[in-house]
Chains A and B, each alone.
Chain A
Amino acid sequence: MAKHLLAFPDLCTGCNRCAYVCSAVKEGLFLPTRARLHVQNFPLHGYSVPCICFQCPKPECLEVCPEKAIYKNEAETVMVDQEKCNGCGECVSACPYGMIEVGPDNLAYKCDYCGGQPACVEECSPGAIVFVEPDQEQKKIKALQMKHRSTSGNPDEKRLERAEVFLKEARPARAASA
């Protein structure tokens, strides 16, 4: 069974170290807006939601890619072959979670688990992101998180929309007056 990234919003403190280190590894500088994962912060409600790529069993991004540039490797990680990518952005529109984007170099980029040792997990002090072979309980948590899908908007908007669903569940009274 392959290892997967799992996010636990209730544990996330909003420190953003995951996004800082991801961009450091992937872009060579600290540039969190181009990290391969993002944290939606709701400071007024004391809540944050880490948004991660679910490495979907049946990825929409893989299915819509006209160049067949998206594939799954042996570890079940969904990868972009940037040699084949033409920057069309179909994957970006198709992803229900806002977790694949096209960069300034006109190439799609997404989380690739850093080849098996995700840097974000090492930085996460509260343990809100883990990299494990999911047990039954964890598979259920992940499935529930994947149920919330955004059908429109740019990646920022999709992530925000989904994060607000988690916020509402975690902070019912306050979220109503947000």
Chain B
Amino acid sequence: MNLYAGQVLRVDLSKGEIAKEPLREEWLKDYWGCWGLAVQYFHELVPPTTDPFSPANALVIMTGPLAGTLAPTSSRFCLVSKSAHTGTIFESNMGGAFGPELKFAGYDGIIITGRADSLVYLRIKDGEVGLEDASAMKGQGIFKTETLLKASLSPEAKVLAIGPAGENLITFACVGSEAYRQMGRGGAGALFGGKNLKGIVCRGTGGVRVAEMEAFRQKVAHWTQTSLLTEDNLWAKSDGTPILVDVTNEMGLHPTRNFSLGVNEDHAALGPEAVGRAKLADRACASCPLGCGKFTHINGAEVEGPEYETLCLTGSNCQMNDLEQVIRFNRLCDDLGLDTISTGNIVALAMDLTESGRHDFSLRFGRPEDYLAVVTEIATLSTARGRDLALGAGRLAEKYQAQDLSTEIKGSEFPAYDPRGDYGMGLAYATSERGACHLRAFTIFAPDHFNIEALAQDVVNGQNLNAIKWSMCFCDFWGTVNTEIMADLLTAGLGRPVTAEELIRAGERIWNLTRLYNLKAGFTAADDRLPRKIMEQKLGNGPNEGRVFRKEDFERMLQLYYQLRGWNAEGVPTKEKLAELGLQPL
């Protein structure tokens, strides 16, 4: 087969059985791969009311058709499941090198159901696949687990692993790979832990075929030169995501002091120059010419990162204007297996609760001591404070009546862009299928941050484009990739014509399918909401000082969004829209 491996692994952890199944080729023209294909597999397998921690929940790991090829930034792959953190269907994707390795081993994806009786790992060596005892790795961090799993199979093997946070079922626990890459959001780590799956190790010595290698290489070279390695995207090579520290501060939507301010006066301590001074090396995911990873080192602390979200949410948002401390916090999260976006929000919330006198967590903005200790406490549930913070912002706020202070939607803590400074991000967060997320639509570069009509359309377009983009899968940082480029590469790879039109239609289809799933799981338009803080509390400083995102404005924007999507006033896709996309109505 061209591009695809043509095979998926089915792992039933309850029975300890593994099967190899042909890829559902009839789904490829509508869902393509990665996100789209994983959603299709998932919704056929798991009823929407399934408890995320039940053995009946499935983990669908899926690569895209271009994974394992020279198509630049194509190594990303995803996991789709039902989240214990939000209760929604969710997709979580990751770079690194595991995706291509799985392809080279001969599999487009892995579908995992059931729950093992005791801690196991999945071992894949080309055609040889088995479940092995992982008791020796119980409680180990992700770094050590990865080292042990590679030693057991091959130094060139690639690993997915969880740390103690995932084993302890912290609902925002992540899966780690290649040390510093994660499936960050939605709690993939907790779902691995809930299935007693410590990790997956894979070595693949096969290859990926294309229809016409010469033509494919020419297309790759052409689009790499004319689209990828252009000014719009080269920030990733030169500075990496830390550049956004400067950008968002200038725009005045940089979350600071638990989302009470829009500018961090001390952001230079966490910005691209500071990271540049600490940088030892540039790092890249497999297949990527950009190399956005910045491996940094200060006073014996090192990490690949910190990325923008971490710099803001565990830095500015906690008023920890100290890059060394943020590097240490980041490294702890990466090793213990916690999502830094969620953890940063939660720690800042706890700081706010302490300083406002509402509950003393002994955490204060800008104070380094307990700042690092609390990460371990959360991951290991070793203290009352750790167990409280492990609830996540939604449940923590509920416990201490702090819904006016928290920043989450459907339980997912906010990424590092304040909606009071850009209404598009507010709508994007509220309508993301997995709760507040910046990787569905991203509007901060729109010419008018508050034009409701234009931004509602931008959010629809962004979501549809990203749905097909994460089905290829291409990296977010190829910002200028479009469906014309995707169609051109797929045409050369598959040896049959693919059109931009069918790809964007697939994006819209994938988006509607996730919407249907969430509706059947019990979510309604009422869950497409903003937190009270954003609607009622004025942003405290900067270009957007005094702004709120008023409920009436948001409701108007949401209704406009539903109309643009061909959904009714309750946010349900109409029969006509579903028929257009070839989907079954609710």
A13 to B279, CA, bound (A): 13
What are 26 residue pairs bridging A and B, where the CB atoms are less than 8 Å apart in the complex?
A: A13-B281, A13-B283, A15-B285, A15-B288, A15-B291, A16-B97, A17-B70, A17-B72, A20-B287, A28-B213, A29-B210, A30-B69, A30-B70, A30-B209, A31-B208, A32-B104, A34-B207, A41-B97, A44-B146, A46-B281, A46-B293, A46-B304, A123-B289, A126-B282, A160-B155, A178-B147
Q: Which chain A residues lie closer than 8 Å to B69 at the CB level?
A: 20, 30
Q: Are B283 and A24 in contact (CB under 8 A)?
A: no
Q: Taking the complex as formed, is A139 at the interface, i.e. its CB lies under 8 A from any CB of chain B?
A: no
Q: Are B70 and A27 in contact (CB under 8 A)?
A: no
A23 to B229, CA, bound (A): 23
Q: Are A47 and B300 in contact (CB under 8 A)?
A: no
CB-based nearest A residue for B296: A46
Q: Taking the complex as formed, is A33 at the interface, i.e. its CB lies under 8 A from any CB of chain B?
A: yes
Q: Are A46 and B70 in contact (CB under 8 A)?
A: no
- Decide yes or no: A13 and B284 within 8 Å by CB, A21-B217, A27-B207, A29-B208 being known contacts: yes
Q: Taking the complex as formed, is A1 at the interface, i.e. its CB lies under 8 A from any CB of chain B?
A: no
Q: Are A14 and B283 in contact (CB under 8 A)?
A: yes
**Contact mask for chain A residues 7-23; partner B; CB cutoff 8 A; 1 contact, 0 none:** 00010011111001101
Known: A17-B288, A41-B156; 9 extra A-B contacts, CB below 8 A, are A13-B283, A21-B217, A24-B70, A24-B217, A30-B210, A31-B206, A46-B283, A125-B289, A174-B302
Interface of B, helix, strand, loop or mixed by DSSP: loop
Q: Which chain A residues lie closer than 8 Å to B155 at the CB level?
A: 40, 156, 160
CB-based nearest A residue for B291: A13
Q: Which chain A residues lie closer than 8 Å to B288 at the CB level?
A: 13, 15, 17
Smallest beta-carbon distance B174→chain A, Å: 16
Q: Taking the complex as formed, is A57 at the interface, i.e. its CB lies under 8 A from any CB of chain B?
A: no
Q: Which chain A residues lie closer than 8 Å to B229 at the CB level?
A: 125
Report which of B72, B205, B302 forms a contact with A46, defined as CB distance below 8 A.
B302
Q: Which chain B residues lie closer than 8 Å to A46 at the CB level?
A: 280-281, 283, 293, 295, 302, 304
Smallest beta-carbon distance A155→chain B, Å: 12
Q: Which chain A residues lie closer than 8 Å to B363 at the CB level?
A: none
A43-73 residues at the B interface, CB under 8 angstroms: 43-44, 46-47
Q: Are A15 and B286 in contact (CB under 8 A)?
A: yes
Q: Which chain A residues lie closer than 8 Å to B147 at the CB level?
A: 44, 178
Q: Which chain A residues lie closer than 8 Å to B96 at the CB level?
A: 43
Q: Taking the complex as formed, is A173 at the interface, i.e. its CB lies under 8 A from any CB of chain B?
A: yes
Q: Taking the complex as formed, is B179 at the interface, i.e. its CB lies under 8 A from any CB of chain A?
A: yes
**Contact mask for chain B residues 104-134; partner A; CB cutoff 8 A; 1 contact, 0 none:** 1000000000000000000000000000000
CB-based nearest A residue for B290: A125
A10 to B295, CA, bound (A): 12
A positions within 8 Å CB-CB of B: 10, 13-17, 20-21, 23-24, 27-34, 40-41, 43-44, 46-47, 123, 125-126, 156, 160, 171, 173-174, 178
Q: Which chain A residues lie closer than 8 Å to B97 at the CB level?
A: 16, 41
Q: Which chain B residues lie closer than 8 Å to A171 at the CB level?
A: 280
Smallest beta-carbon distance A35→chain B, Å: 10
Q: Are A123 and B70 in contact (CB under 8 A)?
A: yes
A43 to B177, CA, bound (A): 9
Q: Taking the complex as formed, is B388 at the interface, i.e. its CB lies under 8 A from any CB of chain A?
A: no
List 4 A-B pairs, minimum CB-CB distance, nearest first.
A46-B295, A31-B207, A125-B289, A13-B284
Q: Are A43 and B304 in contact (CB under 8 A)?
A: yes
A126 to B213, CA, bound (A): 24
A126 to B97, CA, bound (A): 18
Q: Which chain B residues lie closer than 8 Å to A40 at the CB level?
A: 155
Q: Taking the complex as formed, is B392 at the interface, i.e. its CB lies under 8 A from any CB of chain A?
A: no
Q: Are B291 and A126 in contact (CB under 8 A)?
A: yes
Q: Taking the complex as formed, is B511 at the interface, i.e. its CB lies under 8 A from any CB of chain A?
A: no
A178 to B146, CA, bound (A): 11
Q: Are B289 and A43 in contact (CB under 8 A)?
A: no
Report which of B70, B206, B281 forms a contact with A47, defined as CB distance below 8 A.
B281
Q: Taking the complex as formed, is B143 at the interface, i.e. its CB lies under 8 A from any CB of chain A?
A: yes
Q: Taking the complex as formed, is B35 at the interface, i.e. its CB lies under 8 A from any CB of chain A?
A: no
Smallest beta-carbon distance B541→chain A, Å: 36
Q: Taking the complex as formed, is B418 at the interface, i.e. its CB lies under 8 A from any CB of chain A?
A: no
Q: Are A33 and B205 in contact (CB under 8 A)?
A: yes
Q: Taking the complex as formed, is B180 at the interface, i.e. its CB lies under 8 A from any CB of chain A?
A: yes
Q: Taking the complex as formed, is B33 at the interface, i.e. its CB lies under 8 A from any CB of chain A?
A: no
Smallest beta-carbon distance A120→chain B, Å: 12
Q: Are A15 and B70 in contact (CB under 8 A)?
A: no
Q: Are A173 and B300 in contact (CB under 8 A)?
A: yes
Q: Which chain B residues lie closer than 8 Å to A160 at the CB level?
A: 155
Q: Which chain A residues lie closer than 8 Å to B104 at the CB level?
A: 31-33
CB-based nearest B residue for A10: B281
B194-249 residues at the A interface, CB under 8 angstroms: 205-210, 213, 217, 229, 237
